[in-house]
C-alpha cells in the first residue's frame, strides 16, 4: 500500500508533512539542513487544505449553531467574519508557515524566541478537540450502522437520539471504534488511500446533500425553515452571536491552532497565497451553508410549525435528518441514510486524521519519541479524554457548568476561549513583533497582494481589538458577571 516513492509531492500525506516538520525542527538543533518538499501545484495545496477544513464542523456544527443563534443573523455574521477575519487570519497563517518553513511549534520560535509559547498554545487546541470530535464521529458511525441494518425507521423516532447518547456504553463503543480506525490509519501510514478515496467521496457528499436539500424543500413547512435560515432578524443579534460565529469560523477553517501554518510550510513559493485562500474559504463556507440549508428546513418540515429541535444543540443533525430519510420507506430510507452517514463518517475521519497527525507530531517533537510510540500515546490519551465527553450525555449528565455538558465545555474551551486567544496573540505577533511587512513580502513574492492595506489594518488593529472585546464580554457573561 505504501507508494511513497512513486507519488507526486502534491499527494503527500499529513503524516509525511508533520513528520518532516518535526525533522525540520530537530535539524535546526543538530545543525543539519533537510530539504522540505511540498505541494507541487496550487490545486494540490487547495484540495489538501480544504480536506482538513471540511468536516463535522461544516456538516454537524454549523447548522446547529445557526439554528441556535437565530438563523439568518448568524449566517450573515458568519459570512461577514469569514471574508474579513477568516481571510486575513488564513492568509497570515499560511504566509507564516511558508516564510518560516516550519510547523506552528517552531514557526513562532524561529521568528522570535520569546514567542515560542504561542506555538505551544496552538498545540494544546487539537489535543482538546480530537477527543470530543471523535465522540461525534462515533455518533455518525452509530447512525450509519443503524441505517445499514434496516433500523432507519426507529432512528426517526422522537427519543431515539436522546436514548442513544444517554445510554452508558453505546456511545462509548462507537467513539472507541471511530478513534481506533483513525489510529490504525495513522499507525500504518495509509492516509494516502483515505485522502484519495475522500477526493471521490467528498464530491459525492456534496451531491447527496444538494439532492436531500431539494427533496426537503418540497415538503410542507420547510420553507419556513428557509426563511429562518436566510432572512436575518436583527433583533436576535447579540455579542454571543458574534462569539459563536467567530469560534465556528476558527474551528471550521482549521485556524488558530497551527494547522494552516503547517500546511503553509509546504506550499511552493510560486503559488499564490491570496487566491488559494479565497478558494479554500469558498469551499468551506459553501459546504457549511449548504448543510444548514439541508438540516434547518428539515427540522421545520417535521415540527408542525414549532421547531423545538432547533434548540437541540449538538443533536440537531441526528434528529432532523432521519425523519427525512424515513419518508423514503424502509429500503429506500435505509440505503439513503446509510449512504449519507457513511459519507459524513468519511469526512469526519479525514479531519480526525489531520487532527491526530498534528497531536502525534507534537508528542514526537516534545518527548523525542518514535512515531509509533507517539501514535499509541495519542490514541490512549484521546480515548481517556473522550470518555467524559461521551458520558456527559448520560451517566455524568449531572456534571455541568453554566448549563454546558462536558462535551460543550471542551468545545467552549477550545473554540470560544483558546482559539480567540491564539488568534489575538497571532495578530499582535505579526502586527507588532515581526511586523506585517515580513508577511506581506512573502505574499507578494509572486504578484501584487490586492488586499494588503486591508490586511495590515485588520491584523494590527481591528482583529485584535474586536477579538479582545468579544472574548472579554462573553466570558464575563458566561461567568455571570453581567448579562448581555
Q: Tell me if 432 sits within 8 A of 411, measured CB to CB.
A: no
Contacting residues for 432 by C-beta, under 8 A, at least 6 apart: 460
The nearer residue to ligand PHE, 354 or 474, going by C-beta atoms, is: 354
Q: Name the minimum Å distance from CB 460 to ligand PHE.
A: 26
Q: Is 208 exposed, middle or buried (0-12, 13-18, 19+ CB in 10 A)?
A: middle
The nearer residue to ligand PHE, 55 or 431, going by C-beta atoms, is: 55
Q: How long a stretch of residues is the chain?
A: 484
The nearer residue to ligand PHE, 57 or 141, going by C-beta atoms, is: 57
Q: Name the minimum Å distance from CB 85 to ligand PHE.
A: 16
Query: What's the distance, Cα to Cα, between the start and end of the chain in Å?
Result: 56
> From CA 431, how far away is CA 1, in angstroms rounded?
45
Q: Name the minimum Å distance from CB 259 to ligand PHE.
A: 5
Written as one string, the DSSP assignment of 337-385 is HHHHHHHHHHHHHHHHHHHHHHHHHHHHHHHT--HHHHHHHHHHHHHHH
Q: Tell me if 318 sits within 8 A of 63, measured CB to CB.
A: no
The nearer residue to ligand PHE, 257 or 363, going by C-beta atoms, is: 257
Q: Name the minimum Å distance from CB 346 to ligand PHE.
A: 12
Q: Name the minimum Å distance from CB 46 to ligand PHE.
A: 15
Q: Name the minimum Å distance from CB 198 to ligand PHE.
A: 13
The nearer residue to ligand PHE, 309 or 350, going by C-beta atoms, is: 350
**Which residues form the interface with ligand PHE (CB under 6 A)?**
52-53, 55-58, 251-252, 254, 257, 259, 351, 354-355
The nearer residue to ligand PHE, 354 or 389, going by C-beta atoms, is: 354
Contacting residues for 273 by C-beta, under 8 A, at least 6 apart: 91, 94, 95, 98, 264, 267, 442, 443
The nearer residue to ligand PHE, 246 or 257, going by C-beta atoms, is: 257
Q: Name the minimum Å distance from CB 78 to ligand PHE.
A: 13
Residue 401 forms beta bridges with which residues? 404
| Integer-rounded Cα radius of gyration of the chain | 22
Instruction: Return the residue nearest ligand PHE (CB atom).
Output: 57
Q: Name the minimum Å distance from CB 5 to ligand PHE.
A: 27
The nearer residue to ligand PHE, 252 or 473, going by C-beta atoms, is: 252
CA dihedral 21, 22, 23, 28 (to 10 degrees): 90
Coil vs helix vs strand at 300: helix
Written as one string, the DSSP assignment of 315-336 is GHHHHHHHHHHHTTHHHHHHHH
Amino acid at each position: 500500500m505504501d507508494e511513497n516513492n512513486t507519488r507526486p509531492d502534491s499527494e503527500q500525506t499529513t503524516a509525511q508533512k508533520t513528520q518532516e516538520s518535526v525533522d525540520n525542527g530537530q535539524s535546526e538543533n543538530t545543525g543539519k539542513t533537510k530539504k522540505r518538499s511540498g505541494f507541487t501545484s496550487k490545486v494540490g495545496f487547495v484540495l489538501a487544505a480544504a480536506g482538513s477544513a471540511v468536516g463535522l464542523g461544516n456538516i454537524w456544527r454549523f447548522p446547529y449553531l445557526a439554528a441556535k443563534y437565530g438563523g439568518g443573523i448568524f449566517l450573515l455574521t458568519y459570512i461577514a467574519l469569514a471574508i474579513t477575519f477568516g481571510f486575513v487570519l488564513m492568509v497570515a497563517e499560511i504566509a507564516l508557515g511558508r516564510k518560516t518553513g516550519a510547523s506552528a511549534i517552531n514557526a513562532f520560535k524561529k521568528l522570535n524566541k520569546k514567542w515560542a509559547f504561542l506555538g505551544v498554545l496552538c498545540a494544546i487546541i487539537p489535543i482538546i478537540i480530537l477527543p470530543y470530535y471523535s465522540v461525534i464521529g462515533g455518533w455518525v458511525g452509530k447512525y450509519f450502522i443503524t441505517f445499514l441494518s434496516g433500523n432507519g425507521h426507529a432512528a426517526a423516532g422522537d427519543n431515539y437520539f436522546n436514548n442513544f447518547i444517554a445510554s452508558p456504553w453505546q456511545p462509548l463503543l462507537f467513539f472507541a471504534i471511530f478513534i481506533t480506525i483513525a489510529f490504525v490509519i495513522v499507525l500504518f501510514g495509509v492516509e494516502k488511500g483515505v485522502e484519495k478515496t475522500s477526493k471521490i467521496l467528498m464530491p459525492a457528499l456534496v451531491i447527496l446533500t444538494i439532492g436531500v436539500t431539494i427533496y426537503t424543500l418540497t415538503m410542507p413547512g420547510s420553507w419556513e425553515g428557509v426563511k429562518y435560515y436566510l432572512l436575518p432578524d436583527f433583533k436576535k443579534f447579540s455579542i454571543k452571536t458574534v462569539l459563536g460565529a467567530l469560534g465556528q469560523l476558527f474551528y471550521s477553517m482549521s485556524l488558530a491552532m497551527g494547522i494552516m501554518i503547517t500546511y503553509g510550510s509546504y506550499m511552493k513559493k510560486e503559488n499564490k497565497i491570496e487566491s488559494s485562500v479565497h478558494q479554500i474559504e469558498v469551499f468551506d463556507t459553501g459546504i457549511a451553508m449548504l448543510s444548514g440549508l439541508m438540516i434547518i428546513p428539515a427540522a421545520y418540515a417535521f415540527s408542525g410549525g414549532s421547531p423545538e429541535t432547533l434548540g437541540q444543540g449538538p443533536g440537531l443533525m441526528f434528529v432532523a435528518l432521519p425523519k427525512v430519510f424515513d419518508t423514503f420507506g424502509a429500503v429506500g430510507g435505509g440505503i439513503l441514510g446509510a449512504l449519507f452517514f457513511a459519507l459524513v463518517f468519511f469526512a469526519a475521519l479525514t479531519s480526525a486524521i489531520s487532527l491526530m497527525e498534528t497531536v502525534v507530531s507534537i508528542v514526537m517533537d516534545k518527548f523525542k519519541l518514535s512515531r509509533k510510540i507517539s501514535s499509541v500515546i495519542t490514541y490512549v490519551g484521546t480515548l481517556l479524554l473522550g470518555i467524559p465527553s461521551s458520558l456527559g450525555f448520560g451517566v455524568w449528565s449531572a456534571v455541568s457548568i453554566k448549563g454546558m455538558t462536558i462535551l460543550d465545555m471542551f468545545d467552549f474551551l477550545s473554540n470560544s476561549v483558546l482559539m480567540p486567544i491564539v488568534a489575538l496573540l497571532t495578530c499582535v505577533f505579526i502586527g507588532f513583533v515581526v511586523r506585517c511587512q515580513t508577511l506581506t513580502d512573502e505574499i507578494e513574492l509572486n504578484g501584487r497582494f490586492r488586499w494588503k492595506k486591508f490586511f495590515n489594518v485588520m491584523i494590527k488593529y481591528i482583529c485584535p481589538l474586536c477579538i479582545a472585546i468579544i472574548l472579554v464580554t462573553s466570558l464575563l457573561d458566561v461567568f455571570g458577571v453581567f448579562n448581555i
